[in-house]
């Protein structure tokens, strides 16, 4: 007997949401649970219901339990709302020898859009291993007494990335933990100890969590940039306003992110629906919000500092006919995307002092959502925000009025990224369910709204 969700939980979800299940076998009822709490019980087919997730944005676990006449569980299925779902899926298959540790691993993938990867990567304990044309790699000799982490990443031509991490060895033995949750933390002082010394530091629902690995890797900064910030940044950088000479090319070139850290722009212009009679009206309730915003591929600050990148990168992307400016919605999408790749992360919103917006979600709700995801949010306003402006609605923001203010804000942003480490814990968990024990020598990143 089986139970399967037919509903898709892509994008950002709040309020009433339809749920449909496929159920086989002698099932008498189906119980639906959200975040561990029973919300509905279906007594007969069709196995359909509506779940009210409330108006707040939060990650949710949805569980469907198939029950017999006595209420015993026969099968279950789980889904996740307001967490990343990918159209591309990657799996890592271990090829075990007759005895001892695995000798090789294969990376296999599927993509609903039918794209072939332009690049594939497999790392073993953080070290890249060579993949052949079939996606197979020979693993280095290793000891099953220790925990080992295999991480695969597939880069598709459209700019989408799909990734997967598995852990085995150590307490897992030869079995594989196929689900790992990334928890961004920073050490309270000194350096973060290795994974083996983090036992008893993190819990979920009172249950101690097993730490499989600690990763540093490159960071990913998502930037939502308002149209007015481009001119405002030009004004900050021009020593002579009669000449469009941007001083950042010389004096701000050092305002760069570290190493392989990258930047992605999320353009805050929602797209108009085909057939909409009102050029100003965009109905987002019937469409995945993540599809409404264009997200750039990776930029790096090695060749130009962040201020110059924000002025010059992809200036051609702007509001089209019938589109809306939606800063808060774009920030929510950026936060969701930031959790997709298990990297050190932050979202930066850069606003001018005058602009307004029309988002579905308000800034307070979006701040709470990013806090639940454990994604740090930094909001810059170039100039004192005017009453009623988009910037004024965000509350705790950094007002930048001169070059020194911009430099201080950038250093704080880079420190936010540089100080993070990613702890990989066993199991797929709601990020807001993870907490620290008194013995933990770390703090959770992005935990405060």
Domain ranges of the chain: 3-81, 85-178, 219-421
N-terminal to C-terminal alpha carbon distance within the chain: 43
Query: Six-digit token pair at 408?
Result: 């201080």
- State how far the alpha carbon of 158 is from the alpha carbons of 87, 116, 155, 335, in Å: 12, 10, 8, 20
Q: Which fold has domain 3-81?
A: Immunoglobulin-like (2.60.40)
Phi/psi region, residue 152 (left: phi>0; alpha: psi -120 to 50; beta: rest), is: beta
Residue 221 has a pLDDT of 97
Tell me what pLDDT residue 66 has: 94
What span, in angstroms and rounded, lies between the C-alpha atoms of 393 and 385? 9
Helix, strand counts (H, E) of the chain: 6, 29
Has domain 85-178 been given CATH number 2.60.40.10?
Answer: yes
| CA distance linking residue 393 with residue 68, whole number of Å | 51
Q: Over the stretch 168-215, which tens digit does the pLDDT of each residue have? A: 887 776 666 667 899 999 988 888 888 888 989 999 988 999 998 898
Cα 409 from Cα 19, distance rounded (Å): 44
Do 185 and 179 meet the contact criterion of CB atoms below 8 Å apart? no
Phi-psi region of 222 (alpha: psi -120 to 50; beta: other; left: phi over 0): beta
Spans in the chain with pLDDT lower than 70: 1, 87, 96-99, 112, 173-178, 237-251, 271-291, 314-323, 447-449
The confidence score (pLDDT) of residue 229 equals: 85
Residue tagged 């979006």 (tokens): 366
| E strand map for 96-204 | 104-111, 119-124, 127-129, 136-138, 147-155, 161-169, 176-177, 180-187, 202-204
Query: DSSP state, 299?
Result: B
pLDDT, residue 188, reads 84
In the prediction, which pLDDT does 283 show?
35
CB crowding 263-277: b at 16 or more within 10 Å, else e? bbbbbbbbbbbeeee
Give the DSSP letter string of 419-448: T-EEEEEES---GGGEEE-TT--EEETT--
pLDDT at 448: 67
Tokens representing 136 are 């197979």
> Which residue matches tokens 């209420």?
71
Give the DSSP letter string of 312-359: HTTTT----TT-EE-HHHHHHHHHHHHTTTT-EEEEEEEEESS-----
| pLDDT for residue 97 | 64
Residue listed under structure tokens 């983090």:
198
Give the model's pLDDT for residue 250: 54
What is the sign, positive or negative, of the torsion defined by CA atoms of 378, 383, 386, 390?
Answer: negative
Would 85-178 and 219-421 be classified into the same CATH topology?
A: no
DSSP 187-247: ESSSPPPPGGG-TTSEEETTEE--EEEEE---EEEEEEE-THHHHHHHHHH-SSTTS---T
Fold of the 219-421 domain: Rossmann fold (3.40.50)
- How many angstroms from the chain centroid is the CA of residue 174? 30
pLDDT of residue 280: 35
Burial class (CB in 10 A: 0-12, 13-18, 19+), 341: middle
Hey, what are 257's tokens?
A: 């992110």
Phi-psi region of 363 (alpha: psi -120 to 50; beta: other; left: phi over 0): alpha
């Amino acid at each position: 007997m089986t139970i399967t969700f037919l509903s898709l939980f892509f994008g950002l979800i709040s309020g009433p949401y339809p749920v449909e299940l496929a159920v086989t076998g002698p099932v008498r009822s189906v119980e639906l649970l959200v975040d561990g709490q029973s919300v509905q019980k279906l007594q007969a087919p069709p196995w359909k219901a509506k779940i009210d997730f409330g108006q707040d944005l939060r990650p949710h676990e949805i569980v469907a339990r198939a029950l017999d006449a006595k209420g015993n569980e026969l099968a279950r299925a789980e889904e996740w709302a307001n967490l990343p779902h990918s159209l591309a899926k990657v799996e890592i298959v271990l090829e075990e020898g007759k005895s001892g540790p695995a000798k090789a691993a294969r990376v296999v993938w599927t993509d609903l859009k039918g794209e072939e990867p332009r690049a594939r990567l497999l790392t073993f304990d953080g070290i890249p291993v060579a993949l052949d044309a079939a996606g197979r790699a020979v693993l280095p000799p290793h000891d099953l007494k220790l925990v080992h982490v295999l991480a695969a990443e597939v880069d598709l031509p459209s700019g989408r990335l799909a990734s997967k991490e598995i852990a085995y060895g150590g307490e897992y033995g030869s079995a594989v933990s196929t689900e790992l949750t990334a928890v961004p933390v920073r050490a309270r002082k000194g350096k973060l100890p290795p994974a083996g010394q983090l036992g008893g530091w993190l819990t979920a629902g009172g249950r101690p969590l097993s730490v499989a690995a600690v990763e540093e890797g490159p960071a990913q900064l998502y930037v939502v940039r308002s149209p007015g910030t481009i001119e405002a940044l030009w004004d900050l950088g021009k020593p002579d306003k009669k000449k469009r000479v941007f001083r950042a090319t010389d004096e701000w070139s050092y305002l760069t992110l570290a190493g392989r850290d990258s930047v992605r722009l999320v353009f805050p212009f929602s797209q108009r629906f085909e057939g909409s009679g009102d050029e100003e009206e965009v109905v987002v309730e019937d469409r995945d919000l993540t599809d409404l915003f264009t997200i750039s591929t990776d930029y790096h600050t090695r060749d130009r500092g962040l201020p110059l990148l924000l002025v010059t990168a992809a200036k051609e992307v702007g509001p089209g006919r019938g589109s809306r400016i939606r800063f808060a919605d774009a920030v929510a999408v950026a936060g969701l995307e930031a959790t997709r790749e298990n990297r050190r992360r932050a979202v930066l919103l850069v606003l001018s002092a005058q602009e307004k917006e029309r988002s579905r979600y308000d800034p307070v709700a979006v701040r709470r959502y990013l806090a639940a995801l454990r994604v740090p949010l930094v909001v810059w306003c170039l100039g004192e925000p005017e009453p009623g402006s988009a910037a004024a609605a965000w509350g705790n923001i950094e007002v930048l009025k001169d070059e020194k203010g911009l430099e201080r804000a950038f250093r704080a942003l880079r420190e936010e990224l540089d100080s993070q480490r990613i702890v990989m814990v066993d199991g797929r968990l709601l990020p807001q369910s993870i907490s620290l024990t008194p013995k933990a020598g770390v703090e959770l990143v992005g935990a405060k709204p």
